[in-house]
Structure 1
């Protein structure tokens, strides 16, 4: 976690898959308690599946419904391809 002004930056784990979805969901809920906007660094993601993307999409939806600005920073090529394949580009605000 890093703080840049009113923006909190968090690092996604290497694995965004069904084996980590419960831990990730709990982690994401904690992130949503932060004040200010959220920047999610996705530069370490090496493994992803639909369950992991569903949890990440839920994080973005929850943030947006609570008027919290959220961005996905430095996504790996694998993560971008997965997001595109599942048609989630509009739900996730990606910044390369």
Structure 2
């Protein structure tokens, strides 16, 4: 089972998600992200994911997507972050 982003990946959820991600990164050498339920996403949410992905790269922690909703991929595409976030496999 992956690390679920839930339905909202927006500014209202960023601090709680940041804390959860931090704990996960301290306890594991790999991170399986499930973004399949995301129905609302904004720039701060994507910024948090990008920061977490860079932290994983710097700490040699494997980052892999289990799933990504069309809303998540669409928002990443709008901001030019599909490749940076590793969402290439979920684009049409």
TM-score if structure 1 supplies the norm length?
Answer: 0.84
- In structure 1, the partner of 2:60 is 67
Q: CA RMSD in A?
A: 1.3
Matches within 5 A, 1:52-63: 52-63=45-56
Does residue 86 (structure 1) correspond to residue 79 (structure 2)? The answer is yes
Structure 2, unaligned stretches of length 5 or more?
A: none
Structure 1, unaligned stretches of length 5 or more?
A: 3-8
**Of 18, 24, 47, the match for 2:17:** 24
Query: Counting helix residues as a fraction of each chain, which structure ranks higher?
Result: 2
Contact 2:9 2:46 in 1 (8 A): yes
TM-score if structure 2 supplies the norm length?
Answer: 0.88
**Over 2 Å off, 4+ runs:** none
Q: Distance in 2 between matches of 1:93 and 1:39?
A: 12
Q: Deviations over 1:53-89 (max 9, x none)?
A: 1111111111111011101221100110111111112
Contact 1:13 1:44 in 2 (8 A): yes
